[in-house]
Amino acid sequence: MKKFIYISVTAICFSAIAGCQKSDGLSSNNDNKQTEVSQKMLFRGQTNYAKILNHDGEIVGYLSTKQNSIDAAEMFFKMPSQFAKQDATQELLKDMQPTRHIGFAVNNMNVKDLTQNLQPLQPANTQFFGNEVSFSLFNENSTSGVMKTPANDETSSGTIKMYVPELLNITSPNIATPEDLLPYCYYKDFVLGWNADPKNENGLVVVVEWHGMDIYGNEYKKYVRNADIITNDNGQAVLNNKLFDGIPQGALVNLQLIRGSIEIVGDFTNEEGKTEEFRLVAATQAILPFILVREIEN
């Protein structure tokens, strides 16, 4: 499960939130057969989420997720790794590299004291959503760690503050009981509903993902991920029909809805006096597993 969330933070942030290019090709899986891969971003405008691709610093932050509409939310924290980003040669010699000791705090709470495994969202952690949240990086073996980012007025105190949207819930299609799970959804003019957050100025990311399986027991060597941006967080949107391109009738599909905030720590001075860049991400995600309907029999 932790692996799934890590993939959500990295792959979705990289490919879905900010990617604006179509990507098709082949990839290998465990049985050495090639999988046909199709990835497409529909949105062509400007989005704050593009910061995740315009920089390559290490990702730190947190993510909440709901695997479906009736499951409780779970949460995962990502703090700085023990090793700075290395090139391929240095990566092979990682065991010979000195470890670094960079701490990460959210609302003045050291992330080390919070769970870093995917676990049910604790009531105390709901404060990290729907509020302005402070984030800070610091050198654990020193009294100072300097964050510099000219775009943020809080840098003199080594703290970045940003509004993190409310916890996300998909409200339509309505999933109220276990019997409602895995609904049949028609792809044309798909109306998606969620709990609106008028304070969220970043919009939302919607991702439709298919791993090649359908309700008939077929398993195709195909992977499709199409993404778009919903610019207005008003609680409802009619999805672009092209989100479902490449996905057949009866496919078992996951729709992922994501909203969050991103800031770049442009110049952090570590304990060795070297500067590092970090991508600070705080997001919430809700997932709708469903069966795709393309043809309706009269």
Instruction: Give me the pLDDT at residue 121, please.
Output: 82
Instruction: Give me the pLDDT at residue 83, please.
Output: 57
CA distance 254 to 288: 6
225 Cβ contact partners less than 8 Å away, ≥ 6 residues apart: 15, 16, 38, 39, 40, 207, 208, 209, 210
What is the token pair recorded at 211?
């791993």
Instruction: Give me the pLDDT at residue 240, please.
Output: 97
Q: Name which of 235, 172, 225, 173 is nearest 203 in CA terms.
A: 235
Instruction: Give me the pLDDT at residue 87, please.
Output: 43
Question: How high is the mean pLDDT in each 10-residue block of the chain (298 residues)?
Answer: 38 41 49 83 86 78 92 87 52 50 86 72 86 90 46 53 96 94 96 98 95 95 95 97 97 96 84 82 95 88
CA distance 11 to 17: 9
The amino acid present at 57, given as its one-letter code, is G
Instruction: Give me the pLDDT at residue 238, please.
Output: 98
Instruction: Give me the pLDDT at residue 272, please.
Output: 75
Given a contact cutoff of 8 angstroms between Cβ atoms, the answer to whether 63 and 74 are in contact is no
Domain boundaries, the chain: 2-293
64 Cβ contact partners less than 8 Å away, ≥ 6 residues apart: 73, 74, 75, 76, 121, 129, 167, 168, 283, 284, 285
Long-range own/partner contacts, residues 268-273 (CB < 8 A, 24 or more apart): 268/102, 268/137, 268/145, 268/146, 268/147, 268/148, 269/145, 269/146, 269/148, 270/84, 270/100, 270/102, 270/139, 270/145, 271/100, 271/101, 271/139, 271/141, 271/142, 271/145, 272/100
pTM > 0.85: yes or no: no
